[in-house]
Structure 1
C-alpha cells in the first residue's frame, strides 16, 4: 500500500477572512481552503509546515491521519472559554496534553502505532461539508460547555496505548457515557477507542440530567452582570467569534447562578477498573457465543441423524436427474452425511456408501468427478490439478459446515 497522509483544520463559530484564506492557500500547492476549513492530502512527501502552528494561528480544530497507524486530534480554545483545570485532569503524558499559553488552551491527542479498522477507508472522498469535521466541531463546542465525554474517549485510548504506564490512572467519569451521540462515535472510530471500554464506562456513568431550557434559566442571572461587563461581551461579539462569546457568557452566568455544568461528575474511575470490566464482559460474551455454537452444532447433528434415511434418498434422487445443479446439491448433502459419520467415528462406512452410489451410476462422469474432487473416490487416472481442486473444495466446504436441509 502506498503512503497516505491527510491534514484537516476547521474554525468554530466564525469564518476565515479573505486574507487568512489567501495565506493558508500558500502553505501547499494543492491545499483545499474553504470559508471555515482547509484540507490537504499526500501520497508521498508531506506537509512542509507545523500543522499545530497552523491550528494556533488560524483554526480551532486539527485532525491528522496516516496509513501507518498515526492519528492526531487537536482543539484550540480561548483561555477564558474553558475550564483548564478540568481539562488538565485528562492529560496523559505526551500522548494527551493540555497546555495553556498566550491566551489559548491547546488540547492535543497524538496516537502513534495505533492500527485500527476504520469504518471509512483512507482513500474515501469527502464532500465539502466534511461530516467528520462537523462531528469534531460538536465535540469542541461540548468541551467549552463543560461536557467532557469527548476528551474522556481520547483519555481511554491514550491509556490503552500506554497500558503499562497508565493502568492506574484515574479521572472524573463524565455523565452521559451511555448516551453518546454520533459525534462521539465518529471520534471513537477515528482513533479506534475500544468498544468494550466504552461499554464499561457507559454502565458506570450517571445519565445526563433531563434537558431543560438553559438559556431561560441563565437569563435570570443577566441582571447580575455589570453594564461594563455586558458591553465587553457586546464588543467581543462584534469582533467575531460568536461561539466563544456565547460559551464565556454561559460560563459566567452559571458561576453567578451556581449551576453545575451538565456533564461534570463527582464520580472518579480508573482505567484498570474499566479494563477489568471490559475483559470480564468479553470473556462472558465469548463463553456465550461458544455455548450457543455448541448448542447449534448439537441441534444440527440431531437433525442430520433424524433425517439420515431421507437425506440418502434425496442424494440418489438428485443424482438420478443427471443435471449439473442436481449433482452439486447431492454432493453438499453427502458432505453433511460425511460430517455425521465422522462424528460417529465411522467415516469408512460413509466412504463405502459413496462408492456404492458411484457404482450405481457408472456413466455419470460429471458426478464422479465431483466425488473425486471431494476426496471420496480415487481417480481412475492421475490428474495433476486434482490436489489443488481438492484443497479449494475443502476450503469452500469445511467438514462442519451446516448444510441447508430445506427442500
Structure 2
C-alpha cells in the first residue's frame, strides 16, 4: 500500500511493535545513500517505481499501553520533508535506535556485529528538530546513547534563503528545465519539485558529515559510561535535596517546639478540644500535636510530666477506640 498509494504509514501493536514507513521520490534520496544506515529488519530501504521506501521498526516488550502513541505520526511526519531536503539525521537516529536494542535484548544481534563501524554521522545530532525528537522517542532511542553519538556530530548551520541569492540562482537555470519544472508543478508534483530545488540550491541545513572509526560496541560502551555518570550525579542531587528538605523539616519542627514551650497548658487545652470533636481529622491533628509535645519533653527533659499527662488523657478517653488506636500506632502508650 505504501509502495503504491501512501507517503507515510504508522503501525503499532500492544505487545510492543513500533513501525513507521515513509515514501520519498528517488530523486531527493537515493537508495545507496539510505542503505548506509540500514540494519537488518529494523531499518530497511528499497525502491518501487520512482520512489524510495524507508521502513523503521522498534521492538520491545511493553508492560502497559502508551497513551497517545497512536498519534505519533503527526509529530513524526516532518522528517519526510527533512530527508527530502538532505537532512540525514532521521536515518542515523533509526540506525542508532536499532543497535540500541542490544541494551534491552542481548540476543538482538550476533556478537560479530559489535565491530561494525557506524555510518557517516550527520551534523546537528545535538540539536534535533521536533519531528526528529518524536522519531527518536517512537523508536525508543536511549538518551544516553544519542548523547554519546552526538559527540562526533558537528553543529548544523541553518541556511538563510536570501531572496536575492535565490532569485539569482533561479535565473541561472536553463529555460527548458524551468518549463519542465513548471509543468510538473501544474501536474500536482509541486512538493517534489520544491524538495529537489532545495537540495540543489543548498538544502535546509549545512554541515559536514563525519566519517568515524567508532564501532557499535564502542558506542554502546560510551552510552553505558555516560549513563553511569549521569545516574551518580542524579543520586548526588537527590541526596542533597533530601538533606536540604530534612534540614528544613528539622528547623520547622524546632520552631513549632519553641512555640509550644511558651505555653504548654494551652497546647494541652487544644488537644482536648480536638479530641472533643470526635472526628477522624481532629484525632489525627491531636496525635501530631502529641508527637511534638513528646519531642519537646525529650528535648527539655520533662518526660515524666509528659508521661503523666498522657496517661491521664488516655484514661479519660479510653472509650474512644479510634483515638486509642491512633495513639498506640504512634507509640504514645505512656509506658
- Give TM-score, length-normalised by structure 1: 0.62
Asked whether the equivalents of residues 159 and 167 of structure 1 are also in contact (C-alpha less than 8 Å), the reply is: no
Structure 2: where are the runs of 5+ without partners? none
Deviation at 1:151, TM superposition (A): 3.0
Residue in 1 aligned with 2:315? 362
Residue in 2 aligned with 1:157? 97
Structure 1: where are the runs of 5+ without partners? 1-53, 125-129, 379-407
Q: Per-residue displacement from partner, 1:177-215 (whole Å, max 9, x unpaired)?
A: 343343233323333333334455566644332551166
Asked whether the equivalents of residues 21 and 55 of structure 2 are also in contact (C-alpha less than 8 Å), the reply is: yes
Q: Per-residue displacement from partner, 1:253-295 (whole Å, max 9, x unpaired)?
A: 44xxxx8952553364663334432442233222222233234
- Root mean square deviation of aligned Cα: 4.0
Residue in 2 aligned with 1:293? 242
Deviation at 1:79, TM superposition (A): 0.8
Residue in 2 aligned with 1:320? 272
Q: Per-residue displacement from partner, 1:109-149 (whole Å, max 9, x unpaired)?
A: 11122538787346x8xxxxx6x433323111011112233
Residue in 1 aligned with 2:285? 329
Report whether the alignment pairs 1:246 with 2:194: yes
CA separation of 1:222/1:196 partners in 2, compared to 1, >3 Å: closer, same or farther? same
Distance between the aligned counterparts of 1:315 and 1:200, measured in 2?
A: 60
Asked whether the equivalents of residues 19 and 57 of structure 2 are also in contact (C-alpha less than 8 Å), the reply is: yes
Whose RCO is larger (CA < 8 A, sep 6+)? 2
Question: Counterparts in 2 of 1:371-386, with a 5 A limit?
Answer: 371-374=327-330, 376-377=332-333
Residue in 2 aligned with 1:58? 5
Aligned residue for 2:45, secondary structure, equals: strand
**Larger Rg, first or second structure (1 or 2):** 2
Aligned residue for 1:321, secondary structure, equals: helix
- Give TM-score, length-normalised by structure 2: 0.73
Distance between the aligned counterparts of 1:204 and 1:281, measured in 2?
A: 19
Report whether the alignment pairs 1:281 with 2:281: no
Residue in 1 aligned with 2:78? 138
Distance between the aligned counterparts of 1:297 and 1:115, measured in 2?
A: 37
Asked whether the equivalents of residues 233 and 249 of structure 1 are also in contact (C-alpha less than 8 Å), the reply is: no
Aligned residue for 1:326, secondary structure, equals: helix
Asked whether the equivalents of residues 152 and 210 of structure 2 are also in contact (C-alpha less than 8 Å), the reply is: no
Aligned residue for 1:55, secondary structure, equals: coil
